Amino acid sequence: MTKCLVILTWNEIEAVKVLYDKIPKNYDEVFVIDPGSKDGTLEFFKEKGMPVHIQEKKGRGVAFMMAANISKSDLILFYSPDGNEDYNDIDKVFALLEQGADIAIASRFAKGSRNEEDGQLFPWRKWANQVFTWMVNISFNRSGSYVTDTINGFRGFKRQVLLDLGLTAEGFAIEFQSSIKAFKKKLKIAEIPTAEGDRIGGESKAKSIPTGIKFVKLYLKELFSKK
């Protein structure tokens, strides 16, 4: 099966400089999707000869679907080089897809995982992630095996599955929506545990409250729609 690695960036120059050489690139396709970074990220990739596709509209959801339409490979994996995602796990996620999974997730909450907020007294984002994950498992997952991280962006898909899921989220809800739609379609979801690292530089683009509100709206919409 052919493989495509998609690198997602938006003003991540500090982390990209640290991680770029370490990211495995021995795949059939490797390219960047970026909504128009202004901090030198685009110039850095250009210097390296890495193909970059610029989004007309911002949002990770837009980036996911753009990549799925550009790629010609069987498998597609999204990697965001900001420090959170361990490049050593890229091949492990691809392996799950090769073994038959429709969606493969690097989980921050499976046994043996680490989450960015572990060790904090009040890991608010972790708790919110786990509550949302629990809600969609009990509402939509009929497979009998609990998916521990329905939200992490570090994930891969059979490319045709991604194209056929009927995803509409344009921003940070794309991963959550893809998990829900996959549950509804009874697709095979597999996970590996991953250790989430700390952000290396730059700024977070995911604002917790607006993202949480989007998740609730999406959950309710999916609950009342059959598709």
Ligand X SMILES: Nc1nc2c(ncn2[C@@H]2O[C@H](COP(=O)(O)OP(=O)(O)OP(=O)(O)O)[C@@H](O)[C@H]2O)c(=O)[nH]1
**Which residue, 12 or 187, is less far from ligand X as judged by CB?**
12
Told to check if 37 binds Mg ion by CB under 5 A, we report no
- The window from 7-15, 20-28, 86-94, 132-140 that contacts ligand X (CB under 6 A) reads 7-15
Instruction: Name the minimum Å distance from CB 2 to Mg ion.
Output: 28
Residue with the shortest CB distance to Mg ion: 84
**Which residue, 106 or 187, is less far from ligand X as judged by CB?**
106
Q: Which x/- pattern, by CB under 6 A, does the window 33-72 give for ligand X?
A: xxx-------------------x--xxx--x---------
Whose CA is closest to 170, among 93, 86, 59?
A: 59
**Which residue, 80 or 141, is less far from ligand X as judged by CB?**
80
Told to check if 149 binds ligand X by CB under 6 A, we report no
- Interface ranges with ligand X (CB under 6 A): 8-10, 12, 33-35, 55, 58-60, 63, 80, 82, 84, 116, 153, 199, 204-206
